[in-house]
Amino acid sequence: MTSTVTQKQILTSNQTYQKIRRIAFEIFEQNFQEKEIILAGIVGEGYSFAKRLATELTDISPLEVVLVRLDFDKNIHYQSPILMDDTHLDFQNKVVVIVDDVLNTGRTLAFALDPFLRTEMKKVQVAVIVDRSHHLFPIHADYVGYSLSTTISEHVKVVLSDEENAGVYLK
């Protein structure tokens, strides 16, 4: 007998986009003195979130928003190489916000810090849509759309790349 895994919608599309807009305002409030901010989106829904966040920041602020995609294998349990779509970008004395969809153990975000640890940064911040609070790494999010207490066996899925089914789901 096979079990059917059902998923429950936690945030609708509209609610998810409201959370993203609120995070954009928070980022601007914390960085209003900057001329430029770099959003480093982790491949997958993290990058989709970063693109949406860049649009919102551009709409509400005078900040120049630079969008970078961090591409690495999140399923490897050791540090995999991190590739960026803009290898000539200068991070010296800049504010970088690392953007991902869900903060679970913190492993993915800890690995994503690697390229930024090699230069003198002004500030590195983290933005996530959902914080599940199962941290195994000393990573916390500066900007959180929704904090959700779950069991470690449950799975949170953020969908932004599919407009028709956008939202946050729990399996």
Task: Work out the average pLDDT over 105-110.
Answer: 87
Confidence (pLDDT) at 167: 94
As a whole number of angstroms, the distance between CA 100 and CA 27 comes to 15
pTM of the model: 0.88
Give Cβ neighbours of residue 73 (< 8 Å, ≥ 6 apart).
80
User: Tokens 């919608």 identify what position?
Assistant: 9
Q: Which of 31, 38, 94, 105 minimizes the C-alpha distance to 69?
A: 38
**pLDDT tens per residue across span 36-55:** 999 999 999 999 999 999 99
Confidence (pLDDT) at 164: 84
pLDDT confidence tier of residue 2, bands split at 50, 70 and 90: very low
As a whole number of angstroms, the distance between CA 159 and CA 101 comes to 9
pLDDT confidence tier of residue 74, bands split at 50, 70 and 90: confident
Which residue type is seen at 49?
F
**Better pLDDT: 124 or 107:** 124
As a whole number of angstroms, the distance between CA 108 and CA 40 comes to 13
Q: What stretches of the chain adopt beta strand conformation (E)?
A: 8-11, 36-42, 64-71, 83-84, 95-103, 123-131, 143-147, 156-159, 167-170
- The dihedral built from the CA positions of residue 97, 56, 168 and 10, taken in this order, carries a sign that is positive
